[in-house]
Chain A
Amino acid sequence: MAKNKKMKKTTRSNLLMFGFVIIFWAVIQLISLTGHMTSKLNGLLIPVCAYMIMAISLNLVVGFLGELSLGHAAFMSAGAFVGIFFYTTVGAALPKAAAVLISFIMGGAAAGLFGLIVGVPVLRLSGDYLAIVTLASGEILKNVLSALYVGKDSAGIHVSLKDQFSLGLAPDGKMLVKGAMGIPGIQKFSNFTVGIVLILITLAYIVNLKNSRAGRAITAIRDDEIAARATGLNLTHYKLTAFVSAAVFAGFAGVLYALNYSSLVADKFDYNLSINVLVMVVLGGMGNIFGGMIAAILLTILPEMLRGFSQYRMFIYSIVLIVMMLFNQAPVLVAWRQRLVARIRGSKNAPEETVETADSSYFEEIREKNSDDSAKEGK
């Protein structure tokens, strides 16, 4: 680390994050090149990438803006449906690379638009009320998408919110969206490198935003809304910036995720998915992008690793979740842990600190420090 000493702390931690993602990519490449890739691990790669993007983008809303969003999956869903709809219809005639690229753009744009529609009214609320409205908008989108039927025949495109038969499709027509069955017959496209590139783009955007004027404004709103307003910040503008950017990236994640499977159903993007992403963000440390990424990887892989115990899997997961939260947050346990760390430090002369997901950030830290908090806690 000596050569980095002169660099600013923030620059160093940002480089560490990008480096980590690239190393992650390299390790996976190495595994697959040496032929150690199992089909189980392979199937997890794209979901891991998608969840990492989700966690990074939700961090913008929860960690930096300080608003609790329980509907992040809705943006993922909006992006996935629009992107995949394009991919399976118009995109089928295009070269694959172009189709995928445009699908991503369409998905991101759709999610951003949905974020704007939800965001403008919702951001007038705060706290628990905002949380319940984001939850509600996610449920609304899920319900509407589950009831959506789209078909195409020579007369054009038919849309119905009731059932397949009310579409009035000609016999030669083709069903494109089948209500609760969603969009079937997707030509799978799962490319880990594309996932990594998307993560890097997301990281670059968020890190830049964080260290920009807008980012400082956003964290100022989190720390004290009234003071931020008093200094003349346009609250709505900055809140929307954070909210809509997060939605756009969730849309990308949605397209990435959906392209990995042969069919897309709205039920996948339910309230539980939003909660899962929120858990990643909180476990990784709110406002700590790096921690969120690690948590996303662990929490996507952990349930799969526990699949051997099948029925005990989610039970163990829930216990781990509760215990981790208690250890990380409960004042008594935090104090105990710090005493323990201090004792080890004292006797072993400061062993090199490895980054631990659960350990890397505290809530108090966010309150006290500004946006330049490092990914790695500089103890």
Chain B
Amino acid sequence: MQFLTYLVRGISLGSVYALIALGYTMVYGIARMLNFAHGDVIMVGGYVVFFAFCKSGINPLLSILIAMAACTLLGMTIEKVAYKPLRGTPSLAVLITAIGVSYFLQNGAMLLWKSDPKSFSSIVGISGLNLFDGRLQISAETIVTIITCIVIMIVLMWFVKKTKPGHAMQAVSEDRGAAQLMGINVNGIISLTFAIGSALAAIAGALLLSSYPTLMPTTGAMPGIKAFTAAVFGGIGSIPGAFLGGILLGVIENLSKAYISTQLSDAIVFLVLIIILLVKPTGLLGKKATVKV
């Protein structure tokens, strides 16, 4: 029963990673860049929900919507100001700029909202489940997180596979130049991708903080790196891959925390990642790209 508890908690944490990883993976798939500032967008989303819900007492759903709008705006602005001028330059240049943006958001948040930790109250108002005479307790946050993640994942898959903008996204990720020739607004599609990724980050932020309620300007950094790892784990650029990678990462992290060592859990997560990549260099569900000469 203990094991099940840890497993469910792991899946819940993994769902948050998966939501963040979806943002990473979509941006990577379409704009071919690692958006290192993504983790900090989560933090900004967290603060918006904090001020809307915990401070002003706005309806939780409405506060998440506000946070999504704010993060979408933020993500698109970042893309426009910092990344768009660098399009076509080597990926390292964009990477460093993304790191700069990440520092900017963290330190901006520190100036605006101070560095002292704020305690976040859960956005989920219902009580949890008690199964097997209370031996297996599942908190409401866990259930909401997992369900949200699955729903978002399905909607996203439907969006990319069945709708017109989704098809355009696939085309841009396949071949940007050819997509442009087909009359697709490539810049618009990239903006849209950033908007979706950032909106998901806002949801992820609210869910993450409901389970782990300490909010600081650096809150987003570590989940950001973990989610990036999850995206690579599942095969970067692949949406189901990000989902699978996120869940697996969360489960491995929680189980090793419970059974091996709390201090070494991160080391174990990263070790598993290295081993997976060595066996399958493109990640679990990544496409194998053949290099043409």
Contacts and interface: CB of A to CB of B under 8 A. Distances in A.
Contacts of B293: 226
Contacts, number: 132
B95 A68 contact: yes
Contacts of B214: none
A331 B89 CA distance: 8
A140 interface: yes
Given A129-B281, A132-B229, A161-B264, A318 B107 contact: yes
Task: Decide if the interface of chain A is mainly helix, strand, loop or mixed.
Answer: helix
Nearest to B104: A318
A271 B103 contact: no
Interface stretch (A13-21, A309-317, A348-356): A309-317
Interface residues of B, number: 45
B7 interface: no
Nearest to B90: A363
B99 to A, nearest CB: 6
B220 to A, nearest CB: 14
Interface stretch (A32-40, A44-52, A322-330, A338-346): A322-330
Contacts of A278: 96
A326 B85 contact: yes
B277 interface: yes
B88 A331 contact: yes
Contact of A315 (B28, B92, B104): B104
Task: Decide if the interface of chain B is mainly helix, strand, loop or mixed.
Answer: helix
B111 A312 contact: yes
A128 B103 CA distance: 21
Interface stretch (A3-11, A143-151, A243-251, A370-378): A143-151
B273 to A, nearest CB: 5
B97 A128 contact: no
Interface in A112-149: 121-122, 124-125, 128-129, 131-133, 135-137, 139-140, 143-144, 146-147
Contact of A133 (B103, B106, B273): B273
A133 B274 contact: yes
B99 A136 contact: no
B101 to A, nearest CB: 6
Interface in B11-69: 28, 34
A279 interface: yes
Contacts of A331: 85, 88-89
Given A136-B274, A226-B291, A322-B104, A128 B281 contact: no
B82 interface: yes
29 contacts: A128-B34, A128-B236, A129-B232, A129-B281, A132-B277, A133-B273, A135-B225, A136-B270, A139-B225, A140-B270, A143-B263, A226-B291, A279-B96, A282-B96, A283-B96, A314-B106, A315-B107, A315-B111, A317-B103, A318-B100, A319-B100, A319-B104, A321-B97, A321-B103, A328-B93, A329-B86, A329-B97, A331-B88, A363-B89
